[in-house]
Amino acid sequence: MQTIYDGMWRSFVSAMEEGNYVLDPWLSKLEEDDRRGITALAYLAPHSSSLTRNIGEFLRCVRELEPSQYYHPVSELHITLLSIISCVSGFRLDDIDSQAYIDIFLDVVKQHQQPIEIEFSGITASPSCLLIQGFTQGEGLDQLRQTLRERYQSSGLRSSIDSRYKIATAHSSCVRFCQPLKNPLALLSLCKKWRTTYFGSMKLNEIELVFNNWYQNLSITQVLAKQSIDKQIY
């Protein structure tokens, strides 16, 4: 995972130094954004209040420098386990048999026996956003992702799993660029100070299957299913 995060960081540094960062055009017209998808995810807040409190402090520091950017509310910070149907314009729940997706999700998660613990240490970034680095402890997350991937891909149900890239990290996006940066070099300097900061850890015990928009806004997200991993395994 660190290799992936380091590659992203180098792209971010170059973007800040050269001024070729990327703005998200949809964030200025969210009401027009009809991109929707199906995702298996876990929110950070229910698992660790200290973790989200520490991330919130980082966001506060960034906001002082760049108040006009898009900041994910702490309650919406999450890690994506698997994007089953990537967000596409016009997609609706009526387009699929949602119960079939729910049944697979519940069956897989109920049978999962490996603990999932994630440590959040340091930040990375891309030319368009800032992220908190997550590092899985053990093989639990990889195994759950692979089982979900195999079950959905063999089911005959509509999916776009791995169509953009094969997810391999446990990061949480926290800031997206939507307005010209006031001072890219000052932002870079701040991010360097937080580059190796330890934010905390969480043991994953509840996973959700949701119908969501691109930014996982809770006001739009529809929970299709929730399933706990047997807490006794911890």
Q: Which of 126, 142, 119 is nearest to 176 (CA)?
A: 126
> 115-150 pLDDT, tens per residue?
999 999 999 999 999 999 999 989 999 999 999 999
Alpha-carbon gap, residue 228 to 213, rounded angstroms: 23
pLDDT for 179 equals 97
Does the global pTM surpass 0.85? yes
What is the rounded distance in angstroms from the CA atom of residue 54 to the CA atom of residue 36?
A: 30
Question: Which one is the CATH code of 2-229: 3.40.50.150, 1.10.630.10, 2.60.120.260, 3.90.1140.10?
Answer: 3.90.1140.10
125 within 8 A of 9, measured Cβ to Cβ: yes
Mean pLDDT of the 211-224 span: 97
Rounded to the nearest integer, the mean pLDDT of the chain is 95
Domain boundaries, the chain: 2-229
* Collapsed DSSP state (helix, strand, coil) of residue 121: strand
Residue 94, classified by CB atoms within 10 Å of its CB into exposed (0-12), middle (13-18) or buried (19+), is exposed
